[in-house]
Amino acid sequence: MAEAVSTERVAANTNYATAIREALFAGAISFGLFVLLVGLKTDQNIRNELILVQRWGVLAILVLLTMAGRFAYVAYLQPTLAARAAARAKAPAVAVEPSALRKNWTKLAVLGLFLYPVVIVALVGLQGSLKWVDNFGIQILIYVMLAWGLNIVVGLAGLLDLGYVAFYAVGAYSYALLASEFGWSFWILLPAAGMMAAFWGVILGFPVLRLRGDYLAIVTLAFGEIIRLVIINWREVTNGSAGISGIPKVTFFGIFNFDVSSPHYIGKVLGIATSGAYYKIFLYYLILLLAMLTAFVTIRLRRMPVGRAWEALREDEIACRSLGINTTTTKLTAFATGAMFGGFAGSFFAARQGFVSPESFVFLESAIILAIVVLGGMGSLAGIAVAAVVMIGGTEILREMQFLKAVFGDGFTPELYRMLLFGLAMVIVMVWKPRGFVGSREPTAFLHERKAVSASFTKEGHG
């Protein structure tokens, strides 16, 4: 007994010893890296001379942070991860049935989402709720919807699409142009924008879908850029890079609207005080319903023959063909369906911003949406929603972290570091869960019992 304890202690001691050594190494390396990048800064003084500003304090903080991080990783995180991996290796390959609480979790989450604006308004008042409903609620839900749409293409059908934002742009410009030119209502233009995006999905799909893997990725990437360049250069129609402003707001099915000067303003109709928050809350519920629609359709489609064919395509295209499945049309439907939801989201985006410009549809957007899908676990709606909350919510939270200025000095603007955070989070999640937050797959039909399929069996698709 005593012996066992002592060997354990010895193991722990050596663990700390290696951790300290590793931390020193990491410190030395980070010092080497940062000494020129951070420790010294070139600047101009009043006489326009180039001078060196020395920032040893910041450098020390960075190096210490690195050392602490490395120490914590080697001393604590690594052993737990190893133990977890060992436990997982021992566990059976098929994931266990989720408990009843976890099954109802989605329902609770949806309920929570519906109550969210109410709770926020109750907590911080109508005016204070603006930021929370708009920046957090709506912003995150747009990305949830986009990621769920892209999930059909990438997660289910296994087609790597790097130009998804093109369909978002098509939807946004469809609404922006048609609404400001013809004054058509959002409720007509929403499906129209979806159709338009789906149509472009098919147009792109026809020539492209015979390509696979990297080639498909590159062509879709190019397509995204082409759409953006067309928008920039087709000035007569799209007003070029200046964008389109004054896009009409969404009305509540024509019963009342959110235009303060209009006689049908919600405040006048319902006899309540004027506030910009109504529109935001209305938009919140609108995008929530649109996202729910996306989820609902995805769940339904997965249980239909097309949805199964999409997943089969991801697993093995050749086997699909040998079973008489027309792989071209199957891919096209996946592309078109994904694009359609992108178009819906785009028209919502245009209505929410009141302004669209090509700036909003750069490749980075595609990359972020794809990152959310991959982080969440390809194919899993819940995982993707969590990933969107973490990624988009996380970058928004950075804006709130003004106290960081106290640490890094007044010139520090935390939101500039969102991409750094994004990358860091991705690396961490990919190390910790290579298949994303939810790697397992829910089968679409079962005979005896529904068992989740472990990620080790599913494939990502090759294009």
Partner 1 sequence: MEYTVPMPDPILKVEHLSMKFGGLVAIGDLSFEARRGDITALIGPNGAGKTTVFNCITGFYKPTEGMITMARRDGSAYLLERLPGHEITARARVARTFQNIRLFSGMTLLENLLVAQHNKLMKASGYTILGLVGIGGYRRASAEAIDLAKFWLEKADLIDRADDPAGDLPYGAQRRLEIARAMCTGPELLCLDEPAAGLNPRESHALNALLNDIKDHTGTSILLIEHDMSVVMEISDHVVVLEYGRKISDGDPTSVKSDPKVIAAYLGVEDEEIVEVLTEVGDDRVIEELDAEPDRDHGPPDSASMLAGPVTDTIAHSDDEERVSVMRGASKAERIEEREARDRAAGISGQPDDKRGGGE
Q: Where on the chain is the footprint of partner 1 (CB under 8 A)?
A: 93-94, 154, 160, 212-214, 217, 297, 300-301, 304-306, 308-309, 311-312, 315-327, 333, 374, 430, 434-435, 441, 443-451, 453-454, 456-463
* Number of separate helices (H) and strands (E) present in the chain: 19, 4
Residue type, 226: I
Angstrom CA distances, 153 to 19, 167, 330, 334, 437, stand at 43, 13, 11, 5, 19
Q: Is the CB of 275 or the CB of 337 nearer to partner 1? A: 337
Torsions phi, psi of 41, nearest 5?
-135, 130
- Which is nearer to partner 1, 154 or 227 (by Cβ)? 154
**Closest approach of partner 1 to the CB of residue 383, in Å:** 15
Q: How many CB atoms lie within 10 A of CB 143?
A: 24
Cβ 15 to partner 1, closest distance in Å?
A: 29
Closest approach, Cβ 463 to partner 1, in A, equals 6
| Nearest distance, CB of residue 374 and partner 1, angstroms | 7
Smallest distance from partner 1 to CB 220, Å? 12
- How far apart, in whole angstroms, are the C-alpha atoms of residue 340 and residue 345? 9
Q: Which is nearer to partner 1, 276 or 443 (CB)?
A: 443
Quote the least distance from Cβ 280 to partner 1, whole Å.
32
Give the shortest CB-89-to-partner 1 separation in angstroms: 15
With beta carbons less than 8 A apart as the criterion, state whether 139 and 197 touch.
no
Report residue 455 as tokens: 């990620």
Q: How far apart are CA 408 and CA 444, in angstroms?
A: 51
| 355 bridge partner residues | 245
- Shortest spacing between CB 217 and partner 1, in angstroms: 7
Nearer to partner 1, 302 or 352 (CB): 302
Looking at residue 163, what DSSP letter applies? -
Q: Which two tokens stand for residue 263?
A: 């006689």
Helix axes 363-376, 381-388, angle to 10 degrees: 130
CB closer to partner 1 out of 182 and 215: 215
Q: If residue 27 lies in a helix (H) or strand (E), which one and from where to where?
A: helix 2-34
| Closest among 19, 52, 49, 56 to 34, alpha carbons compared | 56
| 355 membership: H or E segment, kind and range | strand 355-356
Closer residue to partner 1 (CB): 396 or 442 = 442
Q: Which helix (H) or strand (E) holds 142?
A: helix 139-151
Amino acid present at 353: Q
Of 50 and 447, nearer to partner 1 (C-beta) is 447
CA distances from 244 to 219, 365, 392 (A): 28, 19, 25
If the CB atoms of residues 323 and 420 are measured against partner 1, the closer one turns out to be: 323
Nearer CB in complex with partner 1: 181/214 = 214
What does the DSSP 8-state code read for residue 234? -
Per the CB < 8 A criterion, the answer to whether 286 and 278 are in contact is no
Longest dimension (CA), the chain: 85
- Locate 98 and state its tokens: 């989720």
Minimum Å gap between C-beta 80 and partner 1 is 22
If the CB atoms of residues 19 and 291 are measured against partner 1, the closer one turns out to be: 291
Least gap, CB of 55 to partner 1 (angstroms) = 38
